[in-house]
Structure 1
Amino acid sequence: MNMSVKVLELSGILDGIRGNELRREVSGILANGADILLLDMKEVNFIDSSGLGALVSAMQMTRNANAKLFVCSISDQVRMLFELTKMDRIFQTFADQDEFNRQILATQ
């Protein structure tokens, strides 16, 4: 089965404004038929509560589209935030795109 994979590279601060952009981008990607969405967050240096809400919204939209969402390359600060807010239980994260490719794409 040929899966459609889309990588979305995020950067800077994930706040309310950027969160709304993320929701629109994810919606468009899913509308175009992506089966798997990888959010590469190596350039994200801060996430506020609105940004966390946007990530949860992206996960819900992805699930509703019968697709899968994964996250990679999170900084130590973002990892700590994920752990404090229990988001690490919601999002499957990978060290980087290479690890994602080895573990997920190799099994598809």
Structure 2
Amino acid sequence: MQLNVTVLELSGIIDGIRGNELRRQISGILANGADILLLDMKQVNFIDSSGLGALVSATQMVRNADSKLFVCSISDQVRMLFELTKMNRIFQVFADRDEFKQKVLPIEQAGRQYKI
């Protein structure tokens, strides 16, 4: 059995409009059977309260689909926002994709192959 890992690269500002797009994208990814979703935020420079709400909603969608959500490559500004809002307790954040691969995939793989 193969573990389906999907990486979603986000960029720019995550606000209400982009948050709605993000929820639709994640819904489609989950419908296609993703076991793990990695949000790569290397190009995200700002998240407003609506965008933060969309991320929380996305987390719930992923949990309801019995999948897992991880975040990587956040900027200092986004890290500060996550800490101020305690979102760093909800999201497991990795420095980059390599750290994610090293720390999560060997554990999750457990005898299964994975595809990114």
TM-score range, shorter chain: over 0.9
For normalisation by structure 1, the TM-score amounts to 0.98
User: Which structure's CA Rg is the greater one?
Assistant: 2
2:23 is matched by which residue type in structure 1? Answer: R
| Structure 1: gaps (5+ residues) | none
1:64 is matched by which residue type in structure 2? Answer: N
- Runs of 4 or more, structure 1, over 4 Å off, are none
2:90 is matched by which residue type in structure 1? Answer: I
Instruction: Give the length in aligned residue pairs.
Output: 108
For normalisation by structure 2, the TM-score amounts to 0.91
Write out aligned runs for 1:1-108 (5 A). Answer: 1-107=1-107, 108=109
Q: 1:31: Cα distance to partner?
A: 0.3
Q: 1:106: Cα distance to partner?
A: 1.8
Q: Which has the higher contact order (CA 8 A, sep 6+)?
A: 2
Q: Distance in 2 between matches of 1:2 and 1:33?
A: 11
Q: CA RMSD, aligned part only?
A: 0.6
Q: What are the superposed Cα offsets for residues 2-52 of structure 1, whole Å, 9 maximum, x if unpaired?
A: 210000000000000100000000000000000000000000000000000
Identical positions, percent: 81
